[in-house]
Amino acid sequence: MANNKLKKLTPVQQEYQRMALAKQPARKTLQNSLRAFLTGGLICVLGQAITKAFVHWGGMDEVKAGNPTVAVLILISVILTSLGLYDKIGQWAGAGSAVPVTGFANSMASAAIEHRSEGLVLGTGAMMFELAGAVIVFGTVAAFVVGNIHMIVKLAMGGG
Amino acid sequence: MQQGHQTWVFNNKPVIASTAAVVGPFEGRGPLANDFDLIHGDSLLNQESWEKAEKVLFEDAARLAIEQAGLLKEQIDFFIGGDLMNQIISTSYAARTLSIPYLGVFGACSTSMESLALAAYLVNTRGGKHVLAGTCSHNSTAEKQFRYPTEYGSQKPPYAQYTVTGAGAAVVASKGKGPVITSATMGRVIDMGIKDPFNMGAAMAPAAVDTITAHFRDLRIGPEEYDMIVTGDLAQVGHGLANDLFEKHGIPIHKTDFQDCGMMIYDYNTQMVQAGGSGCACSAVVTYGHLMKRMNRGEIRKLLVVATGALMSPLAMQQGESIPAIAHAVSIHYDGEAMQGG
């Protein structure tokens, strides 16, 4: 914990927090990174294979095959979530299965399943964005900001 | 009655007439499986929701405890219990089924001993002849309320704990044979400023140490008084910290068998539970299942159970609050005569 956070605490609390931090088993960063690399990479390989399949058998070009590829990955993720497997993969793989689009699908599907008992409208409908909602909000805000910067830079370059 | 600052001494010898421990399938695969009265094969218990399943766990435990005491539901004067759900719904709905005069309590995972201490107090002061105390928790309801949806694939840190699915109940009686509740020490809220809701063992360890120290001080005894002192759900991280704190305060905890329920209920080698078990049911099923059976066999004669609770809510965590923790201790002595069932 950062020192500025510790300043608000009493000396006894500060001392205990240092004790607790020393006892806290560290996350295995190297192992987690390797697993994330492996799993994330495998998901990408799978995506690439699906794209190739759409190009080869579906008569699409690489760009057109993008959307159906994402749809298939999402479908696989939702099925694995429903079977209760995705959370187990997530515990092993960490960011590897959380970062790709399959992780996003898992966050929505898991919330939808979880809140089904509270009804279709106020349960599944309202709560399925409990985790994904923030990603959409801040993703959109970030896209807006970046889009504006892009436009300004383009205008400035064009004007100059 | 009251001795020292925060301890009750029960002179009228309230006895634990019977206990019952009911668990889910995951706990049934753990090392204590033989000591539970009922192991459910399905964690949903044929119910529509996790919350309803949790209620059924409690109903089962209460029914079994009353049966094993050789009593009828109508002979139980009061029912004291609580759980982790908002507005302690699992217990209140179980109380609806039981229709016994009901006192709902909330002490998070310390509820097992909070309810047992209050039951002993009632019986000791002739407030009732038979009082039922208990608590329950369910892994999936706790995950849903306090963390993420159960199927969400986030990685838990190595110091996280696994909420026990189960329920434990005990019938405290004014007379009869069985382990005697001799005293109870009610804890203060201790907050050492820990803010990580995954790190509950570290948040609760100082509370456990505070209550145990107060128990020794109030009764003018030491750890050697007990064959075993067991904390509720500190798990590996919290247990280590509690040991360090005792050493720092010069209390020779090594003179007793100092254990933690959260480290006893699962097999670390085969079950993915990170630091160990937690939840209301953790101390309840280990005490009312495993430890009571060991007392029955004469392996433990003097036991101090210190249930530890993290009194936070998801809302308070999101608003940046730290975790307030509490621990309640109940002292149970047994001279060796067999209990009626349980």
Provide the ipTM: 0.87
Q: Taking CB atoms and an 8 Å cutoff, what residues of chain B touch A111?
A: 149, 152
pLDDT of residue A160: 53
Looking at the complex, report in whole angstroms how far the Cα of residue B45 sits from the nearest Cα belonging to chain A: 15
Rounded to whole angstroms, the Cα distance separating B232 from B8 reads 20
Cβ within 8 Å, pair A86-B158? no
Task: Provide the β-strand partners of residue B172.
Answer: B16, B131
Q: Is the pLDDT of residue B341 over 60?
A: no
In chain B the beta strands, taken as DSSP E runs, fall at 2-3, 7-9, 15-23, 38-39, 78-83, 102-104, 130-137, 162-163, 166-173, 180-185, 228-231, 257-260, 277-278, 302-310, 325-333
How many Cα atoms are found within 13 Å in the side-chain-facing hemisphere of A44?
10
CB B322, CB B194: distance < 8 Å: yes
pLDDT of residue A159: 63
pLDDT of residue A6: 59
Tell me the average pLDDT across B153-165: 94
Sign of CA dihedral B242, B268, B290, B118: positive
Name the percent of chain B lying above pLDDT 70: 98
Rounded to whole angstroms, the Cα distance separating B206 from B194 reads 11
In B160-301 the beta strands, taken as DSSP E runs, fall at 162-163, 166-173, 180-185, 228-231, 257-260, 277-278
CB B200, CB B317: distance < 8 Å: no
**pLDDT tens per residue, range B170-210:** 999 999 999 999 999 999 999 999 999 999 999 999 999 99
Rounded to whole angstroms, the Cα distance separating B170 from A122 reads 38
Q: Which two tokens stand for residue B96?
A: 């609806």
**pLDDT tens per residue, range A122-153:** 999 999 999 999 999 999 999 999 999 999 99
Looking at the complex, report in whole angstroms how far the Cα of residue B24 sits from the nearest Cα belonging to chain A: 17
CB B155, CB A87: distance < 8 Å: no
Phi, psi dihedrals of residue A151, rounded to the nearest 5°:
-65, -45
* Domains of chain B, earliest start first: 12-173 (3.40.47.40), 180-333 (3.40.47.40)
Helix (H, G, I), strand (E, B) or coil at B38: strand
Tell me the average pLDDT across B38-50: 96
Going by the DSSP 8-state scheme, the letter that residue B3 receives in this structure is: E
Q: Which two tokens stand for residue A53?
A: 């399949």
Best mutation site among A4, A85, A87 for testing chain B: the one with the most B CBs within 10 Å? Answer: A87
Rounded to whole angstroms, the Cα distance separating A36 from A33 reads 5
pLDDT of residue A5: 58
pLDDT of residue B339: 47
Q: Which of B149, B153, B158 sits opposite A89 (nearest CB)?
A: B153
